[in-house]
């Protein structure tokens, strides 16, 4: 079966803007309060993982066990720090070429939506000046299960009423690519992380260097 390109779903953090360092700063600060130093290597494993999933991993690495009330308190603290980190995000923080790629989709009448694991996605997409571009948004507040579960993308596809096999999910995280594959989507890695290609149908590393025609050609080559 050859695939076509009917629709796109964009992850947010790492695909349309880069907030990974801001998450890292906030998690590292929380880790330090627990007597644990979060390294940048370990932080990579948190990419795309939900807030609760990230805290569980940090607690495991720190060798700590906490009850649900305490965990909620820590997640709230981390999020307060993170919210102050994203306070000054603006249009300047769109990844270069992202808006121009959306323009190409618009010109070709290809619908697109947002599928983010972040509970802050609606705030962030507004701050970076792209909220008006997205008619369909599903984020961490809309789902029960975080990536690598495909729920976020399946929910977006159902809102968009698109053909899943012909819908691209653009993702910068391994967890997100696994979710996209599980859901039956075309999984396109975004970024330079060498691990992406193990899970993606293909990988691109910049919006500026990528045209819609190239994407269509790569989609047509998928077996």
Backbone φ and ψ of 29, nearest 5° = -60, -45
Alpha-carbon dihedral angle through residues 173, 174, 179, 183, given to the nearest 10 degrees: 100
Task: Count CB-CB contacts under 10 A for residue 206.
Answer: 14
Taking CB under 5 A as the criterion, the residue among 5, 7, 8, 14 binding Mg ion is 14
Q: Minimal CA–CA distance to 78: which of 26, 39, 118?
A: 26
* Least distance (Å) between residue 60 CB and ligand B16: 15
Residue with smaller CB distance to ligand B16, 3 or 44: 44
Token output for 124: 């962030």
N- to C-terminal Cα separation, the chain: 7
Task: Count CB-CB contacts under 10 A for residue 60.
Answer: 10
Residue with smaller CB distance to Mg ion, 139 or 172: 172
Binding mask 142-181 for Mg ion (x = CB under 5 A): ------------------------------xx--------
Taking CB under 5 A as the criterion, the residue among 5, 9, 11, 153 binding Mg ion is 11
Instruction: Map residue 47 onto helix, strand or coil.
Output: coil
Q: How does 179-199 read in b/e, with b if 16+ C-beta sit within 10 Å?
A: bbbbbebbbbbbbebeebeeb
Asked if residues 152 and 117 have their Cβ atoms less than 8 Å apart, the reply is: yes
| 56 assigned to active site | no
Binding window for ligand B16 (CB under 6 A); candidates: 43-51, 64-72, 93-101, 186-194: 43-51
Binding mask 104-143 for ligand B16 (x = CB under 6 A): ------------xxxxxx------------------x---
| 13 assigned to active site | yes
**Site residues, ligand B16 (CB under 6 A):** 11-14, 23, 46-51, 54, 79, 116-121, 140, 173
**Site residues, Mg ion (CB under 5 A):** 11, 13-14, 48, 172-173
Give the residue numbers annotated as catalytic, written as ranges: 11, 13
């Amino acid at each position: 079966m050859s695939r076509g390109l009917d629709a796109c779903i964009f992850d947010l953090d790492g695909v349309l803007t880069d907030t990974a360092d801001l998450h890292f700063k906030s998690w590292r600060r929380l880790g330090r309060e627990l007597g644990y130093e979060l390294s940048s290597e370990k932080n990579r494993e948190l990419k795309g993982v939900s807030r609760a999933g990230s805290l569980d991993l940090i607690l495991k690495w720190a060798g700590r066990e906490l009850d649900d009330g305490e965990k909620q308190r820590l997640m709230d603290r981390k999020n307060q720090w993170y919210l102050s980190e994203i306070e000054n995000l603006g249009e300047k923080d769109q990844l270069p070429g992202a808006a121009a790629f959306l323009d190409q989709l618009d010109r070709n009448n290809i619908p697109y939506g947002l599928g983010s694991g972040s509970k802050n996605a609606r705030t962030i997409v507004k701050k970076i000046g792209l909220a008006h571009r997205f008619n369909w948004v599903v984020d961490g507040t809309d789902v029960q299960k975080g990536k690598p579960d495909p729920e976020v993308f399946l929910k977006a596809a159902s809102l968009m009423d698109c053909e899943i096999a012909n819908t691209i999910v653009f993702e910068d995280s391994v967890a997100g690519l696994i979710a996209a594959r599980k859901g039956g989507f075309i999984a396109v890695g975004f970024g330079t992380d060498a691990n992406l290609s193990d899970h993606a149908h293909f990988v691109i590393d910049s919006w500026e260097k990528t045209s819609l025609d190239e994407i269509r050609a790569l989609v047509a080559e998928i077996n």
